[in-house]
Amino acid sequence: MRLLRLSALLTAASGLVRGDADFMSVRTSLAKDYSGKGGDPGEKYFHESTFHPHYDGRFASEALPETESLPHLTALMQTYLSTMADLGAETWIMHGTLLGWWWNQKILPWDSDLDVQVSEPTMHFLAEYYNMTEHHFNLPGVKGGRTYMLEVNPHYTIRSTHDVLNVIDARWIDTSSGLFIDITTVRANDEARQRGRLGALICKDKHQYDETDIFPLRDSLFEGVIVKIPYEYTKLLEEEYGRKALTVTNFEGHIWNEETKLWVPDPDAKKPFSKRSRIFRATEGIPTRSTPLSHRIER
């Protein structure tokens, strides 16, 4: 039987879950909670760690060394895309993750902030049947594999952009490292539609789109696995980052190598760049589930 544990089933109608998942119920080997929730407002569900904004402190006490973080992020994305495909849950990459796809279909070597989006019906489906489920994968070169957890923010049912503490609707979390993928829901923008802007969409983080910007989704590859990308990907990237983001070949202490199609460290960078500094090295092979994802969870 596959490892798929439902520890806190959430339904859209119940509204019973208010606090974040208890540290003792999800921790792996830590004796202390480094999530930083002590300093967060009570209404905030997801808590970034005390040592890094892109780590979950329930599963890690410090950031990974630079030589280890990117392979973890690569596997994180591969396992997420594989799981969503197995579940039949439509998802697509966005923001800096989409920009990485634009350049070479890989995660940008300085970016630890991975972003994906889903539709509102998909988020309801994930919350109804797969919240707090664990998914174990065998990874080449990783003894014992790794376990990933899908966690849904119960405030996802609040559609207002005024809920600024809960703009992230769900996360896909690597329980071995604390790294995660932010999952946001794209919803109908009711106010804009009432003003006559048919097809208007919005996220709780206030990003706005038209349906034709995203749909129909295009098929591509990212980190060696099948991925969906927005239909008007060039337009969306230019609007968010500017046209130069698609052409500048020297950025964040890296230089674009046209021959290898890789971002490599710039030896002439005057000062240390913000995050990771090494050349991309992909995880050898693609992660596989330790056991098949073959049955629904019984409620």
pLDDT in tens for each of the 299 residues of the chain? 333 333 332 233 233 334 556 555 565 566 677 677 767 788 889 888 877 878 988 888 788 876 788 999 999 999 999 999 999 999 999 999 999 999 999 999 999 889 999 999 999 999 999 999 999 999 999 999 999 999 999 999 999 999 999 999 999 999 999 999 999 999 999 999 999 999 999 999 999 999 999 999 999 999 999 999 999 999 999 999 999 999 999 998 899 999 999 999 888 876 544 443 333 334 457 888 886 664 343 33
Output the pLDDT for position 14: 31
Nearest to 171 by CA among 43, 17, 20, 6: 20
Output the pLDDT for position 270: 64
Output the pLDDT for position 24: 55
Is 52 inside a domain boundary?
A: yes
What's the rounded Cα separation, in Å, for the pair 144 and 148? 13
Is 13 inside a domain boundary?
A: no
Question: 133 lies in which domain range?
Answer: 32-285
Is 12 inside a domain boundary?
A: no
- Report CA torsion sign: 63, 150, 44, 96: positive
Tokens 């706005």 belong to 208
Is 10 inside a domain boundary?
A: no
Is 1 inside a domain boundary?
A: no
Nearest to 224 by CA among 81, 67, 69: 81
What does 190-220 look like in DSSP terms, one character per residue?
HHHHHTT-TTEEE-TT--EEEHHHH-SPEEE
Q: How many domains does the chain have?
A: 1
Q: Are 138 and 183 in contact (CB under 8 A)?
A: no
Output the pLDDT for position 46: 87
Is 63 inside a domain boundary?
A: yes
Instruction: Return the H-helix or E-strand segment holding 237.
Output: helix 233-241
What does 11-63 look like in DSSP terms, one character per residue?
-TTT----SPPPHHHH-SS-SS--S-GGGS-TT--S---SS-TTB-TTT-SSP
Is 97 inside a domain boundary?
A: yes
Predicted TM-score (pTM) of the model is 0.85
Is 227 inside a domain boundary?
A: yes
Output the pLDDT for position 142: 92
Amino acid in the structure at residue 64: L
